Amino acid sequence: MLTALSLALIALSALQLERGPYHDLPDDFERRLTPEVLVARAARPAVVHITTDVTQRIGYDLLGRPIDAPGTSSGSGVVIYEDGFVVTNYHVVRGANSIRVRFDDSVDRTEYNAILVSSVEQEDLALLKIEASGPFPTVPMGISSDLMVGERVIAIGNPMGQTFTVSVGIVSGLHRNVAAEHLRFTDLIQTDASINPGNSGGPLLNINGRLIGINTVMNASAQNIGFAIPVDRVKRVLEDHLLSPSMARAWFGYDIDEKKLVVTEVVPGTPAFDAGLKAGDVIVAIDERPVAEPTEYSLARIPLVPGRPVSFRVRRGAEELVQLELVGWERHEALLYQRLGLTAELVQLLGARNQTVLRVKTLRPDGPADALGIEVGDYLDAVRPAQRYTIDPRDLRSLVIVISRMQPGTPLTIDVWRDSNGNQRRDARGDITEYLQGTLKLD
Which residues are marked as active site? Answer: 91, 124, 200
Spatial distance between the Cα atoms of 193 and 204, rounded to a whole number of angstroms:
9
Spatial distance between the Cα atoms of 329 and 250, rounded to a whole number of angstroms:
5
Residues 6+ apart with CB under 8 A from 291: 261, 283, 284, 285, 297, 300, 301
> Regarding beta strands 435-441 and 432-433, do their DSSP bridges make them parallel or antiparallel, or are they unpaired?
unpaired
Listing DSSP states for 8-51 in one string gives: HHHHHHHHHHHH-TTPPPHHHHHHH--HHHHHHHHHGGGEEEEE
Ramachandran angles phi, psi of 153, nearest 5°:
-140, 160
Ramachandran angles phi, psi of 11, nearest 5°:
-65, -40
Spatial distance between the Cα atoms of 394 and 433, rounded to a whole number of angstroms:
22
First to last CA, the chain: 104
Spatial distance between the Cα atoms of 113 and 7, rounded to a whole number of angstroms:
62
Strands (E) located in 131-261: 152-157, 165-180, 183-191, 203-206, 211-218, 226-230, 250-251, 254-257
Spatial distance between the Cα atoms of 105 and 142, rounded to a whole number of angstroms:
26
- The residues with which 98 forms a beta bridge, in sequence order, are 53
Ramachandran angles phi, psi of 76, nearest 5°:
-130, 170
Spatial distance between the Cα atoms of 394 and 382, rounded to a whole number of angstroms:
9
Give the three-state DSSP class for 291: coil
Give the three-state DSSP class for 300: helix
Spatial distance between the Cα atoms of 88 and 183, rounded to a whole number of angstroms:
17
For residue 254, which of 228, 274, 233 has the smallest C-alpha distance?
Answer: 274
